[in-house]
Amino acid sequence: MATIYCSIDGGGQGLSLGVLNLAIVFPQMISAIGSGPLNTLFGGSNASSFVFGAVVATISAIISIFVLPDPLQQDTHRSAFKGR
């Protein structure tokens, strides 16, 4: 989806890869910072981190369904706006 919007706005492939990279790196950083104390809190087992990751992934999937725009709807709107 990032590639579609970057190509429409003329941002190029580098911007698309940068957005994708940030979308991967930030959750990994949050997980790395939070998993140590979470494991200690629940007796040193890694199971709590896996459960936490599953819950956050589920929440992220639900949010993305409602927050991300529909590319077809956006493309139709842009075409109508440009007079095509």
Extended strands (E) in 1-84: none
Mean pLDDT of the chain: 75
Its pTM surpasses 0.85: no
For the stretch 32-59, pLDDT in tens is 888 888 888 888 888 888 888 888 888 8
Distance CA(81)–CA(20), nearest Å, equals 28
Question: CB count, 10 Å around CB of 68?
Answer: 9
Domain count along the chain: 1
Provide the pLDDT for residue 53: 81
Tell me, what DSSP letter sits at residue 68? S
C-beta separation of 79 from 9 below 8 A: no
In terms of Cα–Cα distance, which of 66, 67, 84, 62 is closest to 75? 84
Q: Residue 67 is part of which domain span?
A: 2-81
